[in-house]
Structure 1
Amino acid sequence: MKMHRDILVIEDDEDDRDILREIFRDLGYKNKIVFFSDSTEALDYIRKPEIEPFIIISDINMPKLGGFELRNII
């Protein structure tokens, strides 16, 4: 398993994204952190054949496509 693949964060609340950004910075992760505010945009990104994220962290309650629905699609 490649430990330095991207970490994808799907969160529609800007304040929560800022908090997560700070947490990952403070933890010193070397992974690239890719943020999405819309789960449908994240799904389009994940569907690219060259994308192999290390982990996906998603909010559950989002407009359009919630976290559980996104998980089921993935």
Structure 2
Amino acid sequence: MNKKGQIIIIDDDLQDLDWLAEVFNELEITNEILYFSSGHKAFEFFKDNNSKIFLILSDIVMMNLDGLKLREMLYEHMDVSFKNIPYIFFTTYAEKKFLELASVDSKQGYFVKPRNYDTLKDMIKTILNYWNHAESLSSYDHK
């Protein structure tokens, strides 16, 4: 986990992407933030760029390639160091079946998107704060 690395946002809801862009701008996050509107576009990016990533926020329910399948594909095709990157589900769905599926390989976070901007901002701030203070073995590779 490279704490100065990129923050990757994957969501096919363009309104949610706009809101998240506003939140990251207001929070004055210095990490590079990359937005992907589909799982396929994100997968293509990840094939060449897994070493510079801080964390991934991914929707679950997306057209063609959902967040669960995307994470599964990434874990199958990427090297072991990729598994040190927090893959956090950030979705509109607060359903037990999604939480169970998201917990199969690892559970780095499952958050339900709030519909209130200030709550969204607080949630993103909390997520970033947590992971900025978390330690991992790969953290020592970047110090």
TM-score, length-scaled by structure 1: 0.90
1:64 aligned residue: 64
Higher helix share: 2
2:13 aligned residue: 13
State the 1:10 CA deviation: 0.5
Q: What are the residue-to-residue correspondences of 1:40-55 with 2, within 5 Å? A: 40-48=40-48, 50-52=49-51, 53-55=53-55
Q: Percent identity?
A: 36
SS at match of 1:47: helix
Give, as a single letter, the amino acid of the residue that structure 2 aligns with 1:56.
I
Distance 1:21 1:69 in 2: 25
**Which string of whole-angstrom CA distances, capped at 9 and with x for unpartnered residues, describes residues 27-73 of structure 1?**
1110011000011010010011x442111111111011101111111
Give, as a single letter, the amino acid of the residue that structure 2 aligns with 1:54.
F
SS at match of 2:63: coil
Q: Quick one: higher RCO (CA 8 Å, sep 6+), 1 or 2?
A: 1
List runs of 5+ in structure 1 lacking aligned partners.
none
Distance 1:39 1:28 in 2: 26
How many residues matched? 73
List runs of 5+ in structure 2 lacking aligned partners.
75-143
Runs of at least 4 residues of structure 1 off by over 2 A?
A: none
1:29 aligned residue: 29
Distance 2:16 2:46 in 1: 21
